[in-house]
Amino acid sequence: MKFTLFAILFFISGTSIAQEFTLPELRFSYDSYEQGIDAQTMEIHHSKHHRGYVRKLNKAVSESKLEGKSLVDLLMYASYRSKAVRNNSGGHYNHTLFWEILSPKIKDSAPYPMTKDLENAINKYFGSLENLRKELSAAAATRFGSGWAWLFVTPNKELVVSSSPNQDNPIMDVSEVRGIPILGIDVWEHAYYLRYQNKRGDYLSAIWSLLDWSVISEKYTAALKDPLLIRIERENWPEMNTFHKVLAKTFHAAEKNDFKPIRLLSGDLYANAILLQDSDIPQSILKPKVASALIRLEKKCSMLHKQISKNAKNKSIMKSLSGVHDVFHEVQGLCHD
């Protein structure tokens, strides 16, 4: 009896801890999209390909000991993740968005209207909806091999079109311009080959006819208010990221009494501190305290580099390196205030 109760408790707690990603349902039946995409393609795409990304994502997350991380967290730091986590987290996010923005048009019923706000933004950044269609189609048509075409909101709240390879997307730190996608078009052959074969252009026209502008408008409104935009802006600071990488490599080794990395890389650390101080501080954290902390960081790195050039002892190097580390965390703290 005791054993049974224990087994039940173990089972319950075990299942509540393992929060796995799951395949979302489609909003309509597979054959509802026939005007643009045949039922067989929809079924294979959703029940085989997307299901495969979800299954492989759960496996990769478990192997990388990243259980509990949100999908957005996995995407944000894609460059630090394994290839399997990067590809499958993108695969899951991208397809989920794709299903959400497609709606079959019901004969003689009203189309899915876009909000005035989205219409104004499209006119502001592209001139017209027709120009946006052309830009998106060009991005999709010229994406070599497999990938996605995107319409997304940048941290400056601008609307931008881009394309990305494989299962990458604009949330990822590997993207040149980043933001929150509100419309994504799958240009992998598995999305269209059965009906359209090599005619990607025809497939793109079909997708255009299935776009649900009501849902895309909701996504636009939500993206403008999403704190993720600020996170992306703050973390999209290449000089800060490079400095962090060099500091992590040297400081953590020194903590374990290995001073070789810092003796080798103190010049690099100093050079990156200069670049960081000269860099454009992201708009949302542009404040005097951050700028003055960056000046102190550079001075401390300069002092540390001089010490190492004079072959100082490990103890005094550790003291100076800890000082650099403290100021660095002060800057990071200011960034998140």
Which positions touch Fe ion (CB under 5 A)? 186, 188, 191
E strand segments, the chain: 147-153, 159-165, 180-186
**Of 48 and 329, CB closest to Fe ion:** 48
Q: What are phi and psi of 306, to 5 degrees?
A: -65, -45
DSSP string, 167-228: T--TTSTT-SS--EEEEEEE-SGGGTHHHHTT-HHHHHHHHHHHB-HHHHHHHHHHHHH-TH
Residue in the shown chain whose Cβ atom is closest to Fe ion: 186
**Of 185 and 232, CB closest to Fe ion:** 185
Q: How far is the CB of 193 from Fe ion (least distance, A)?
A: 11
**Of 152 and 203, CB closest to Fe ion:** 203
Q: How far is the CB of 57 from Fe ion (least distance, A)?
A: 14
Best CA proximity match to 74, nearest among 55, 95, 90: 90
Q: Let me know: does 95 contact 124? Beta carbons within 8 Å.
A: no
Q: How far is the CB of 253 from Fe ion (least distance, A)?
A: 42
Q: How far is the CB of 47 from Fe ion (least distance, A)?
A: 12
Q: How far is the CB of 64 from Fe ion (least distance, A)?
A: 23
**Of 200 and 234, CB closest to Fe ion:** 200
**Of 191 and 285, CB closest to Fe ion:** 191
**Of 26 and 191, CB closest to Fe ion:** 191
Q: How far is the CB of 207 from Fe ion (least distance, A)?
A: 12
325/301 Cα distance (integer angstroms) = 10
248/129 Cα distance (integer angstroms) = 47
Furthest-apart CA atoms within the chain: distance in Å? 82
Instruction: Point out which residues pair with 320 in neighbouring strands.
Output: none
**Of 201 and 238, CB closest to Fe ion:** 201
Q: How far is the CB of 204 from Fe ion (least distance, A)?
A: 14
Q: How far is the CB of 148 from Fe ion (least distance, A)?
A: 9
CB hemisphere CA count around 261 (13 angstroms) = 17
CB atoms inside a 10 Å sphere around CB 101: 24
Q: What share of the chain is helix, strand, coil (3-state, %, to 5)?
A: 65, 5, 30
207/140 Cα distance (integer angstroms) = 11
**Of 191 and 247, CB closest to Fe ion:** 191
